[in-house]
Amino acid sequence: MKKITFVGAGSLVFTRNLVKDLMGIEAFRDAELCLMDIDEKRLEYSGRFVEKIINAFHNPAVITMTTNRREALRGADGIICTVYNGGNDVLKTEVDIPYKYGVSMNVGDTRSVAGIFRALRNIPLMLDICRDIEEICPDAVLLNYTNPMGMLCSAMQKYTSVNITGLCHSVVNTADMLARWIEAPIEEIDYTCAGVNHQAFYLEFKWNGKDAYPLLRDKMREPQILNEEQVRNEIFQQFGYYVTESSGHSSEYCAWFRKRRDLIEKYCTHGTGWNPGEHAFAVNNRIKREKTLYEDIDKWLQEEEIDLESSGEYAAHIFNAIFGDRKPFVFNGNVINEGCITNLPKEACVEIPMLATRDGLKKIFVGKLPDNIAILVNTTAQIENLVVEACMEKDKEKVINAVQMDPLCSAVCSLQEIRDMCEELFVINRKYLGEYK
């Protein structure tokens, strides 16, 4: 019996999808699924819907539940991490204080000032989890889903010996979207995608072995497609390569879309996909969903039939390749570069193709990013490196310098305004961050 532990099982959507994926794989039909969360009510609900999924598959898998992380890790073969440090009130503060200074964020969980402070809150927690893994189950494979992906994975891989990579659905989801736009079956699409998390680009995108980018450029003439992802489509038309993360996220990661109200109106307000214009859209949505969370889950438990189709996430297939039926699996993961992308820093955390086999996780060499893309991605990578260093050293000045170099903040604020903004955030978050010198 294999043991797969969910640290942060109260992240209900992730847990539901990933358990469904695991139960669809023969090697894990009788696995122990250990659910761990510090929120007892969320944990109880998580157990109930995991039980429903197992029963729908008619599998003999076993559920165990605990609020004790060390107990959950004991004997684990694979670990899925979906935790974060701080509640919705903290997330709201980290986007609302910058808004006073003119920095408008839609999501705020990965990059710019809110993403940086989220990293400072979560890196210590992630390192604590990794140190428990080093002691209790050192051979286990850790798959991280928590944002900000690049900075968290960078810290975990640089400062611990845990066998880890970070996973994000943006690569496969965007490939599905582009295939739909050009009316191609996804199974006939091949691609090479590389960069950093949420800012990786499809260096190649092929349909039956033929370059599909010309077809995609033609599709930009169709208003319905152009409007679905206005920010990303503008980046594609200007730079020639398609980026992985949604317009809502991407609008925060560069200097061109959110620095003025007229630009937010033009690029971020009238799209037919996820509307990235509204300030704090994702945080407000999360707060709204929280109000009816348990009511919605009760309804799902009582009324809805379970869709047994795979969610498309990588985790179950990676575990299957390493300690299941050992079928090799190629995916995009977040790992330290070490020369896989030749024109990004070697110590940067990059998102690149990887191979999972019985021998573990292996990086696939990419080579050079196109020069225009490399400038954009290098900025992100070097800021993230500085944030991780600042967190480990508890160095306030390095944090402020990292925010000062952020494209969106630097497009909107003066150096002193950014310093003042950061000082406010340090005060508000002191109980999570501790004292920075």
pLDDT in tens, the chain (437 residues): 899 999 999 888 889 999 999 999 999 999 999 999 999 999 999 999 899 999 999 999 999 999 999 999 999 999 999 998 888 889 999 999 999 999 999 899 999 999 999 999 999 999 999 999 999 999 999 999 999 999 999 999 999 999 999 999 999 999 999 999 999 999 999 999 999 999 999 999 999 999 999 999 999 999 999 999 999 999 999 999 999 999 999 999 999 999 999 999 999 988 877 666 678 888 888 888 889 988 988 988 887 778 888 888 999 999 999 999 989 999 999 999 999 999 999 999 999 999 999 999 999 999 999 999 999 999 999 999 999 999 999 999 999 999 999 999 999 999 999 999 999 999 999 999 988 99
Distance between CA atoms of residues 317 and 57, nearest Å: 17
169 is catalytic: yes
Closest by Cα among 390, 436, 416, 414 to 123: 390
Amino acid (1-letter code) at residue 289: R
Distance between CA atoms of residues 396 and 360, nearest Å: 37
**147 assigned binding-site residue:** yes
Q: Give the active site residue among 169, 249, 270, 317.
A: 169
Are the beta carbons of 232 and 247 closer than 8 angstroms?
A: yes
Helix 112-136, helix 149-159: angle, nearest 10 = 40
**68 assigned binding-site residue:** no
pTM equals 0.96
Distance between CA atoms of residues 22 and 319, nearest Å: 9
Specify the DSSP class assigned to residue 211.
Answer: E
Structural domains in the chain, sorted by start = 3-89+107-166 (3.40.50.720), 90-106+167-437 (3.90.1820.10)
Closest by Cα among 151, 17, 33 to 84: 151
**59 assigned binding-site residue:** no
Closest by Cα among 63, 13, 19 to 42: 13
**Dihedral of the alpha carbons of 278, 384, 176, 246, in degrees to the nearest 10:** 10
Kindly state the helix (H) or strand (E) to which residue 390 belongs, with its residue range. Answer: helix 371-393
Residues facing 34 on adjacent strands: 5, 64
Burial class of residue 185 (count of CB atoms within 10 Å of its CB; 0-12, 13-18, 19+): exposed
> Would you state the structure tokens that stand for residue 94, as one six-digit string?
């980290």
